[in-house]
Structure 1
């Protein structure tokens, strides 16, 4: 019935869009006769899903008819995308719905060998059951034999979690006959060793696969076959998957004492299971054999019967989908034009206000919205060959438009904490920025993907040249001064104060003449000119560049950017990354010790070919150490930094030695 329900829902939505038309009446008629056909085609039911376990986490309740409930309902309704292979891994999909504090995070995962129709049916049933079994809960997880559904009010994507750990026996495990056979075949130690060894083997297979899923089967005796399965959620790394599965495997000896015939160990980020087969029995359940003695899989008959009806459905549905695709494409084009007009109107109003104050405006026609299909064509569907780099907010790709012009596209991460409204507002404001050391935003895409469009920089980002390559001293100083001037412009050069919040080497682009340009300004905090700091729960910076108050308290200000610039300046001088440890010390601690002991010239990158002015080197180290002072009041403003870098005098203020050890322990070097 699942196939029929899906098709009927699709036709119903199609009917609404074409209400009171001849095509609508034809679609209703088609749905009726197709329903009759599906009902009488043998084997069309997808099959019942096998419920295993659920866990309702104690993270608070949400009220009925609340915003959180609405977001949760919309998120669970999108779980069907799992079966359509919307993501890079088949059968896996994670997404978010809404904005804080009512934001919901959801993860949907099917077993690696489950067919698309069964996956879709399982996700739908699991989502419904989870709401029934965990009513009002802000976090819950449910496991079926075929799929997993998990949601929460906190971000758990890419985080490996091993607790709580749940042990579940196979539904018919405990059969006296079956367990007695296993006990006669193995003693406890021998059985535990065989199950554990095979579990390690299937773990190796799982982490070597793209989907982090694997199964294995071996004959452990003349009459007993051991099956094992391991799977991780594909959002975690291979090393994290390995750790998660090994954590579960350590519990096998305990589980085997209670569930000898078969069991599964469930964790939020992974699960592992084993099952014993004996002479055609699986935990007491027999399987038939054909005349040649080969065991038959009951699913083969079901899937075979689906082929005939599936082909008919595909042919007829394709005709409808083709027609609808043409209409949707036209609607998207119209929608893009409306959004573009809306954005240009807003930008035009801003420029009009700016012009009324006697400032020179920039034409709003310079901003344009680009359709997602054009971007996909330009970047060859965001291929790795076009990828220029990856940052905290997403990946950057080089694209070539039909007229041959090269443009950089920043594909924002779907898990980005910045909402669509905030992004649109920032796009409107950042389009007005014009400075030779700030990357120019050309436009954006606001369809299913959020993409920012920048001018293309042929020399990529600063980190490509800074670490491990030879840059002469003059070029290093030109880059440092340009970054300082660009940051000063963001802080004081416009009507609004912009706190970048994630200044680092990879966010500095270099044009054809190696001039630096600050990028990712759209993701920054933008406030009134009288507001120079803010408190936030959204910490989007990069560890190693973030000021102590930002890491520990979520307090961000223009002085936080000054700290990040100080780290970057020390990196430019030394050619080493801040998380680089020398004798167990961070780059910042190492720089302060050399400077305070009068050995500052030892901090210079040995790859610098041209001799550099020792006085200028010490001055730059002095400025960098002033910028990374632990207390905000001890750090200079960017206007003072620009004057010191461009002047011939050495700063008179002496930086103090902060308690770096306490701060460094909070960061991931």
Structure 2
């Protein structure tokens, strides 16, 4: 009988020793094994990985107090292994140790030969890789969980409270140091509820990368947890969680900062020097009202107060299953064209170029003749005539409508508004909102479904069943997909969009893949991966989605 190699015996004994550590009984929330490379059980990589996992557990056991973050390496290239372990910021040292004691043998069991893997528990995360993973923001793979209970009243108000809470916590976590980027807090939600929130980054990230990671995670809330009382979005570099009950350790509690108060003193008159990079002020709104000439009011409404009393918000017509049948395709096409011409005026015909930054259904007003009026310029920014792009350190807008370069890096331009217009156009065609898109028994977002329908040459599946299908609808779908392309340079300008919509003889280029698409996953597969928790109120893993490549 041939004896096994000494390295394989050491690996087996060490993993058995790790498995013998008393478990705290929790099951992992999710895991992922990369398919980019395997190792052999008797090779150098296996030995280094075994030593590294042992060191992670030993480091946690040797620490009675700390921040629960460990980044270690073992071996030399090409067999070097790097690992990151992170415990939730409100978890005590004992629970952190217990969680990592469970994680090390479990990740070896789930991914026995893969060179890169990650595993998540409620209290901790452990990952290893043969490539450098330190100080690198990574948002894939990811998974999310949602509370089974819905928000039944004041949904828009609840969403606004949630957004303010997560944005405030994001600001505090980003300002953390190299040992801790974590924040918790609460806010008063409708119906006398208290909404609790938690955000965290791996502390090796820079402030900019932490902010970008959290923005991406928060942007997934409409897809994972729309109208839910709680949810969680988890990626390798950061995670967020919210619930209507206190789920974190009270000793880690910090009240979120109060929102900044609007200035009471009169603002100075607008000038051509309108750069406010990194800041969002009211000066953009005042300047906008002054610079739009009266002739532009046929397409735009800057004096919103005088028309709101007599207007209806566009979202009302398309959210209500009965009222959404009122606008036939001719009226919807008129609305689309009016919005496009309004944006074209903002981008090219106004004395100063205006970037709206929050174009969405609820910011389009319809008068008695169903003429669209672009409203709510509170987040708008002004550009000089020759200015093409700007950046901000504070991303504002509505998740689902924001372009990827804006969400990730704070860059905005006319192409950011074009992306939002594309989302809005697809909403009008489908009669469904980006934040609560439903496609039968599958979990998928609107952009992903539109793209898949286009690729599979079944674009009719996207169209609201109440509409009569014609070539103009199919052309609008084509234009919408051109507007939501992931690469900013590939999107058309609003001038080109207006031309495409008005002339059916112009050939259209082929669209590329949109940003922020989610794969189609049957609900049966999602249900089979649901996590049973100790409380019926806790969020369950209703939609655990993994993507092998970062977006």
**TM class by smaller structure:** 0.3 to 0.5
RCO comparison, higher one (Cα < 8 Å, 6+) = 2
Which of 1 and 2 has greater Rg? 1
More helix per residue:
1
| TM-score, structure 2 as length reference | 0.45
